[in-house]
Amino acid sequence: MEVRHERETRNLALDYAFGVSILGLIPIAGLLTLKLLIAIALIVRML
């Protein structure tokens, strides 16, 4: 059971990391503040 929980936790962290990195790669001018807020929200939610 512990291995399953650890795997789910690792996969969730990787999903959020990929999401934030993709969000950072979107080159839309003028949306830096919005992208940062979304990234912070994802990080806080992951915790």
Cα separation of 42 and 27, whole Å? 19
Cα separation of 43 and 30, whole Å? 22
| pLDDT for position 4 | 85
| C-alpha triplet 37, 34, 24: angle, nearest 5° | 85
| pLDDT for position 31 | 78
pTM of the full predicted structure?
0.57
Residue range 1-47, pLDDT digits in tens: 678 888 888 888 888 888 778 877 777 777 778 878 887 887 787 77
| pLDDT for position 1 | 61
Contact by Cβ (8 Å): 43, 16: yes
Q: Which residue has the tokens 């992951």?
A: 46
